[in-house]
Amino acid sequence: MTIHRLARHLELIGEPTLVRCVRCIVRGRVQGVAFRAAALAMAQGLHVTGWVRNRRDGAVEALACGEESALRTFRAWLHKGPAYAIVSDVSCAPQPWEDFSEFRIRR
């Protein structure tokens, strides 16, 4: 079930939910430390869709879409990252909704 269908289901049974997308740039020692793989696992566990990729400037970028509480948890995780990451900055901005079917690593 995609996030969009889940949100519609929750709306139909009377559970209020907000679904949205957010694009985040994570800076620090975030490449070469399995950041993307860990972000993929975290997103899948939270039922967040979208993608994550390395940027040429050494940062990691993620576009995450899902239920607001799941996105809060995902964003909080981005501030820590996996064990060997050293996150110095995370900047996030809301984005228009995109109905992805899964979360994946972009190359």
* Residue 23: active-site member: no
Phi-psi region of 4 (alpha: psi -120 to 50; beta: other; left: phi over 0): alpha
The one catalytic residue among 20, 23, 27, 54:
54
Cβ burial of 39 (10 Å; 0-12, 13-18, 19+) is: buried
* Residue 104: active-site member: no
Give me the active site residues, please.
36, 54
